[in-house]
Amino acid sequence: MNKLLKILILILVILGLVLTAGCAAKEKPIPPPAPPSAPGVFKEYTNVGESRAVPAESSQADIDRKIVKTGYLTLEVNDITKAMSEVASVAKELDGYVVSSNKQGDKDITYGRISIRVPSERFDEAFDRLRKLAVKVPNESTESQDITEEYTDLQAQLRNLEATEAQYLELLKKAETVEDTLKVYQQLSSVRSEIERIKGRIQYLERTSDMALIEVNLQKTQPIDGAGWSALETLKSAVRGLINFGKVLAIVVIWLAIFSPVWIIILVVVLYFKRWRKKKARTSR
């Protein structure tokens, strides 16, 4: 009995020690071991690219929307050249500019195309003024593209890259060997190249959203009867006909002159035959 009691007491003591050790482990977690450190600058800058993203200063809802506006117009006008000049004047008066222009036609300009950019806030005003230049507007259309999300994302990327560039510049100052300097400079050049690319894209988006594009196609108005009449063109056509007739007549004369010996022989034979028949007819009487 005493032996059994001693065994029970020993078991209870062991269980108490185990429970106490478990509670202590929960209250004081064992910290993870620190990563081994290594000398040299290169190990330090290899983790620079993993820097956390720089938070945006304002949410997307607080920034201005970036909308790219584009318009297309087809105008029928009486004078293509004059109309193109008027379209360019509209662009200039609205603080815009001409992007490109071209005219097509042989003797008379029958088709033209001109592209202009105007401030986006004056897009509707430009459309109204361009319509008034035409005799008829066969076709017109507009479209808008929201680039706010892309613009905001590029700005965030730019901030992150600029922060990374600053860290690389600090590491460049700490470089002690030529090898470390070259490695840091190589990474720095790559980051700067990406910064320039993103800045260029941001500038393009800003320019296209601030200045709307309008493409104007110009067609010459057709007369009611479907064809125009010109006294000068009629006179020219008559002169050309007379010249062609003279050419044909001259060709005929030349051919007759060249073959005149043949015609003369044939004529002599015919006349001789006629005289012979008349003489024969008298004799038979």
pLDDT at 193: 93
The H or E element that residue 136 is part of is strand 136-146
Under the banding of pLDDT at 50, 70 and 90, the label for residue 86 is very high
Mean pLDDT of the chain: 77
- Answer yes or no: is pLDDT of 45 > 80: no
When comparing pLDDT for 31 and 206, which is higher? 206
Cα torsion 129, 132, 134, 139: sign: positive
pLDDT at 150: 92
- In this predicted structure, which of 5-14, 47-56, 164-173, 275-284 has the lowest mean pLDDT? 47-56
Secondary structure (3-state) at 211? strand
pLDDT at 30: 35
- In this predicted structure, which of 64-68, 69-73, 138-142 has the lowest mean pLDDT? 64-68
The Cα–Cα gap between 110 and 83 comes to 12
- The amino acid present at 140, given as its one-letter code, is E
The Cα–Cα gap between 23 and 100 comes to 81
When comparing pLDDT for 28 and 263, which is higher? 263
Under the banding of pLDDT at 50, 70 and 90, the label for residue 282 is confident
- Answer yes or no: is pLDDT of 57 > 60: no
- The amino acid present at 44, given as its one-letter code, is E
- Answer yes or no: is pLDDT of 10 > 70: no
When comparing pLDDT for 276 and 37, which is higher? 276
Q: Is 55 left (phi over 0), alpha (psi -120 to 50) or beta?
A: beta
Asked whether 135 and 70 are in contact (CB, 8 A), the reply is: no
Q: For 215-263, how does the pLDDT look when each residue is reduced to its tens digit (9 = 90+)?
A: 999 998 876 554 555 677 777 778 888 888 888 888 888 887 887 787 7
Q: For 179-190, how does the pLDDT look when each residue is reduced to its tens digit (9 = 90+)?
A: 888 888 899 999
- Sheet containing strand 67-77, edge to edge, reads 97-104, 111-119, 211-220, 67-77, 136-146
The Cα–Cα gap between 158 and 161 comes to 5
- Closest Cα to residue 87, out of 120, 134, 119, 122? 134
For range 84-103, the mean pLDDT: 92
Asked whether 54 and 160 are in contact (CB, 8 A), the reply is: yes
